[in-house]
């Protein structure tokens, strides 16, 4: 999955696969995780949020299941 580099205190890059509704997050420590069944709206909001880390903490962590890849 292609990830886009972002400026954040904890996230290095973010990718999204619309067909499978999969969000991919790379943290600054190199860990890459895929969150499953994340709607495109959530992804768009994440990309537009002033703080990606804050949006991730408030709307994604604890709501979607994920796997380390």
Partner 1 sequence: MHNKSTYLGIIQDVKGTTVSVTLANESLSGLTYVDGEGYRIGQIGSFVKIPIGYVDLFGIVTQVGASAVPENQVATQPYGNRWMTIQLIGEGQRNGKFQRGISQYPTISDEIHLVSESDLQRIYGQSDKPYFVKVGHIAGAESIPALIDINKLITRHSAIVGTTGSGKSTTVASILNALSDREKYPSARILVFDIHGEYAQALKNKANIFKVNADKTEGSIEKDLFIPFWALNFEELCNVSLGAFGNEKDENIVLERILLAKLESIKSYPKDGINVETMNVDSPVAFNLNKLWYELYIECFATYYSRNSGNPIDNLAYERDGSGSELKGNMETAISPIFRKPKNEKEDNEKINYLPGNLNIGQQLLSLGAKLRIPRFNFLFKPGPWTPGPDGKTEEDLGSLIKEWIGSDKPITILDLSGVPIDILNTIIGVLLRIIYEGLFWARNLSQGGKNRPLLILMEEAHNYLNTESSALSIVQKIVKEGRKYGMGAMIVSQRPSEINSTILSQCGTFFALRLANATDRAHITSAVTDNLEGLTSMLPILRTGEAIILGEAVKLPMRTLIEAPPKDKRPDSQDPIIYDEKDLENSLYPGGWGIKMEENPNYDEFVEAWRGQSPFIKRIIKE
- Residue 6 binds to partner 1 (criterion: CB under 8 A): no
**Among residues 34, 38, 43, 46, the one that binds partner 1 under rule CB under 8 A:** 34
Residues pairing with 15 in the sheet: 3, 24
Give residues with Cβ within 8 angstroms of 36, minimum separation 6.
Answer: 21, 22, 64, 65, 66, 67
Within a 13 Å sphere around the CA of 65, how many CA atoms are in the beta-carbon half?
Answer: 1
- Residue 69 binds to partner 1 (criterion: CB under 8 A): yes
- Residue 49 binds to partner 1 (criterion: CB under 8 A): no
Q: How far is the CB of 29 from partner 1 (least distance, A)?
A: 5
- Residue 63 binds to partner 1 (criterion: CB under 8 A): yes
């Amino acid at each position: 999955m292609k990830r886009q580099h972002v400026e954040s205190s904890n996230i290095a890059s973010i990718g999204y696969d619309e067909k499978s509704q999969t969000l991919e997050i790379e943290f600054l420590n190199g860990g890459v995780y895929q969150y499953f069944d994340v709607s495109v709206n959530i992804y768009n909001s994440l990309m537009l949020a002033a703080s990606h880390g804050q949006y991730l903490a408030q709307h994604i962590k604890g709501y979607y299941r994920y796997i380390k890849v």
